[in-house]
Structure 1
Amino acid sequence: MRNPLSDKIVSIQPSGIRKFFDIVSEMKDAISLGVGEPDFDTPWHIRDEGIYSLEKGRTFYTSNAGLKELKIEICNYLKRRFDVEYDYNKEVMVTVGGSEAIDIALRAMLNPGDEVLIPQPSYVSYTPCTVLADGVPVTIQLEEKDKFRLTKEKLLEKITPKTKVLILPFPNNPTGSIMEPEDLAEIAKICIEKDLFVISDEIYSELTYKGQHCTIAAFPGMKERTVLINGFSKSYAMTGWRLGYACAPELILKQMLKIHQFAIMCAPTTSQYAAVEALKNGDKDVAEMRGAYDQRRRYLVKALRDMGFDCYEPQGAFYVFPSIKKFGMTSDEFALKLLEEEKVAVVPGTAFGDCGEGYLRISYAYSLNDLKRALERMERFVKRHLNDAQ
């Protein structure tokens, strides 16, 4: 029998995040600090709107690009929060989470051999989605000395005549780094000079703890070369609703919509009605959740430093990315030993690219009580192994 599998698919490695959580699911009394999912329930007024949509029998397909009312509210939100304007009818589409938007943006934009610049450490989907779209992923290694930001020097080093797309994953998963306006201004200038397109993944835009999030699409000359991706999972605690969106020039969005039509049809109708309510009346909820995350962020960074970790202070998302280099273990070894000895699950930095070696990703999308319990166990682990390493 012939091999039924695609060589390209077989060559792609499964997510490095999942390995540890397959173990955790079978381990009694384990504490997980690894999953990037808010511990808050979706606010009641948003859930109520979803329930109401079902009670009213709104169970049919929406248009492929999404509910008109939702697309209008997305435009209102982006103008109000980030001062960037879109035409709801031509430049906005609703997707099944931000992940679908990343996938179809790359498939709509790439020809075989086109290079995609991917700053790492970063979210696990960018590289495989590039490969699936017949593009060539090119890693830009972010460094702690630069606060894990993308610098103009690092960007220029990697640009070749084949470079077509730059992915901007900020606020960043897993490092928690952000790009400030002056950083983005330099990147925007290079993109225009080198004729690059940008996929800006801004799913953590509302979880910024230093100033106001800024989108590169708002810079002169950048809206027409940027696909802005966002969603509802992180900001509104709506992970299971599976809803995101993409805003892009009509030329690009038309092709993205074509893929979406054939592969998906439309995003879930109930989720779309709930998202309208989230955008209209959810600012207070977002602010409250951001305040809670900020408290946990400061608590976790201090606790890790007190234990002896070298720990960069994140300014966005809900992760810390401490260095474990002084322990004399690889990231995988450290994470596995911590899980086996103290039943605490974290993610090795290598899940987010080879340059994540020597780091761990720890999520603070958990209650303070869970964080305290996990840190007590981690402290025992650190005392044992730091002494051994020294």
Structure 2
Amino acid sequence: MGTHVIKMPDIGEGIAEVELSQWHVKVGDLVVEDQVLADVMTDKAMVDIPSPVHGKVIALGGQPGEVMAVGSVLISIEVEGAGNLKESAAPTAVKEAPAAPKVEAVVESKSAAAAPRPAAVCQGPMVAREADERPLASPAVRKHALDLGIQLRLVRGSGPAGRVLHDDLEAYLAQGQSNASAPVAAAYAQRNDEEQIQVIGMRRKIAQRMQDATQRAAHFSYVEEIDVTAIEELRAHLNEKHGASRGKLTLLPFLVRALVVALRDFPQMNARYDDEAQVITRLGAVHVGVATQSDVGLMVPVVRHAEARSLWDNAAEISRLANAARNGKASRDELSGSTITLTSLGALGGIVSTPVLNLPEVAIVGVNKIVERPMVVKGQVVIRKMMNLSSSFDHRVVDGMDAALFIQAIRGLIEQPATLFVE
């Protein structure tokens, strides 16, 4: 038997150190080639570190949240044969990551914007997992669990490597139904448990970027109401006629098109501001960042050269990038280089929001939910589909009048959708 030492790889772009975000293995685990061992966080993206060998984990070289230099020892694996220890310097102190602190109960927390969801009627047999252990599950299963009000960490997975499947969720609920006679008073029991969550990895990067943006930029927001009845009718018509062959359209590609057209008259919005060098760079290319919620936090994949894409091309690219971000497969290039950002919570979008700028950009356009309301049109009260745009700008670069005119231009394009395609 020998020891194979895996060092922190050079991820590129001149990065000298990365943050160890999460271990997927522990000392004593048997691993196979290409199995993901750990997640590390760069300034731009989360990166999986796979195993190049089969073997048994004998030591971990760092703890989640620790910043490690490229070339430092990440993990040691016992393998058949001689291993590579002779060629690799062994660590002076290789340590196992400590177990997460135990708590009486763990409640999954979501952002304040999360939608109300039905609570599971009752719980089936619990599975013992550490408080910070992330069960294996597809995004669809996670969404299903969220809708059912089920904590995934409590569900026994029957798939490969313990992956939680849709059938496991149904089985969990079915087993819980048999305990429906449990005293209702248990739901009102007094609780005194606490949970401490270390801010590391993607969450730490998000926190740093949000803090940096609010401290450095002079934010101001502008909200306008838009009648989306006509464009929703157009979208429904196009989906009925071309949906099967070209793919279904959401509202987002129409908004991207509106941004592209409006920016022709307002190029100061499609810009980056280097406040240290005191230089504003206006760009001809429209690289639209589309804010996307993933399991590890908010990510902003970039639709490059939206100005050169058709409506369906933009729709397909938005879908592809969103799926890549949610599945943790988006590359560093796909998560950087945006010139303006579009953010939407869909049906959870509320009435008004105050988006935080994605520095060094100077504008972000926020989309709120669509609601039907009575409106007065040509002296008649009619039901129209209405939506607010809640957008933020960097007042160091963008004047209030220009911001208002920019959003009014978008409003005109959306309310008269034919103008989106008139050259």
Higher helix share: 1
Question: Do both proteins adopt the same fold according to a TM-score greater than 0.5, normalized to the shorter chain?
Answer: no
TM-score normalised to structure 1 length: 0.26
- The two structures have a TM-score, normalised by structure 2, of 0.25
The answer to which structure, 1 or 2, has the higher relative contact order (CA under 8 A, 6+ apart) is 1
Higher strand fraction (1 or 2): 2
